[in-house]
Amino acid sequence: MGKRQFFGTDGIRGKVGESLINPEFVTKLGWAAGKVLAGHGTNKVLVGKDTRISGYMLESALEAGLSAAGINIGLLGPMPTPAIAYLTKTFRSEAGIVISASHNPYYDNGIKFFSSKGLKLDDDIETAIEKQMQEPMTCVASDKLGKASRVNDAAGRYIEYCKGTFPSDLSLNGLRIVVDCAHGATYHIAPNVLRELGATVFEVGTSPDGLNINKKVGATSIRSCVNAVRENNADLGFALDGDGDRIMMVDEKGSVIDGDQIVFIIARDALRSGKLKGGVVGTKMTNLAMELALKSLGVPFERADVGDRYVVELLQKNNWCIGGENSGHVLNLQYATTGDGIVAGLQVISAMLRANLSLHEIANGYIKFPQKLINIRYSEGISNPIEHESVLSAVTEAEHAMASSGRVLLRKSGTEPLIRVMVEAKEEPEAQKWATHIAQCVEQVSEY
């Protein structure tokens, strides 16, 4: 299959007002999606968004396009991405559409789709939508136009779902929890989930104004959550991103717990309780120390390409449940079809309570290996430097020297002409030594 024109690995994303994220394009996209999806079942699509000011405009554009194609629309309002996936599945809708640019600034936005099963759309359906985009836009007869309606208590439904993933014999009574919602889509969800389960909650990033999403708050700006945990003498903190599919955590000492550590805590708890199904999926960026720690517990581990879409695909292929990325996408297919920050955080807390340990104590399953990353710019006109004989020889030399106690990863940036050289090793000087050696070899063949 050839490269798609509009869809990336996580839908369509761009700056508001430019070639893709504008009313004309998004109306046509809604129509094209409606034409492809029409007649497959309920003929209804759910549309949700995060808190960006452009969400109102794009929601209206999608609504017009879908209606013109004869699709009924259920409007969810501001809702986390995993909530839209969940509600799409429970409402038996044709698809769910998310208007969000996740952790990006307010001036970006995007459109992504979920299937009726709550999963990212298959590539062939995205390709069919792109093909339909090339056709002239039409409109069904007036009596066949789609109708739009608000979905009653979408937030309440999702809050109950999140609470239902937490063990009924446990409670958050006595826990002091900071929740940083990044002024994003979880602002009216996450604090209520935690309070209703018994926690004392301190809110950060729960006052969206359309322009402040992800601004110095949330999973990509963890300092706000760290400071709030310390100031409020909290037991832990949740830091979610703008659309709620990523989480980073902060322990009672103010240390950051990343996605790798969260996945490890959840997997080890599932193993101890006899509920772990198969193994764990990480990505090429997952720290080697986590892989070795899992294997020491007898837990199989495999790496997918970077991107939660690829983690889900490998989990499904292996018939496993738990996986994620160090950036905070955490998946447990037993509970959710996509990364869900709130659900992942609750799973960590349930592991803490069962083990009677603090977050700092339970996160001490392994010590991360030092990692050295060097970016090398290259001329786009030359052949791939990664495949050059001298570079491959340097990588082989490093891997042989470090054996099982280190790892080398070379990859091309998807957005600019850079080669990323990453080396992990048990000791920082060794990581630095081999990263520098390989980077020098890349530079020599890059002809820039």
Active site residues: 102
Residue closest to 302 by CA, chosen among 320, 277, 276: 320
Task: Give residue 341's Cα distance to chain centre.
Answer: 8
Residue closest to 410 by CA, chosen among 432, 384, 433: 384
Whether residue 290 contacts residue 311, with contact meaning beta carbons closer than 8 Å, is answered with no
Residue closest to 205 by CA, chosen among 240, 229, 177: 240
Lookup result for tokens 């429970």: 90
d(CA 74, CA 91) in angstroms, rounded, equals 10
d(CA 382, CA 393) in angstroms, rounded, equals 19
DSSP 21: B
d(CA 82, CA 330) in angstroms, rounded, equals 11
DSSP 218: S
d(CA 211, CA 67) in angstroms, rounded, equals 29
- Print burial letters for 92-102: b (CB count within 10 Å at least 16), e (below 16): ebbbbbbbbbb
d(CA 247, CA 252) in angstroms, rounded, equals 16
Q: How far is CA 108 from CA 27, 39, 104, 141, 204, in A?
A: 17, 33, 6, 35, 22
d(CA 326, CA 282) in angstroms, rounded, equals 8
Whether residue 188 contacts residue 218, with contact meaning beta carbons closer than 8 Å, is answered with no
Whether residue 110 contacts residue 11, with contact meaning beta carbons closer than 8 Å, is answered with yes
Orientation of helix 81-90 relative to helix 341-355, angle to 10°? 100
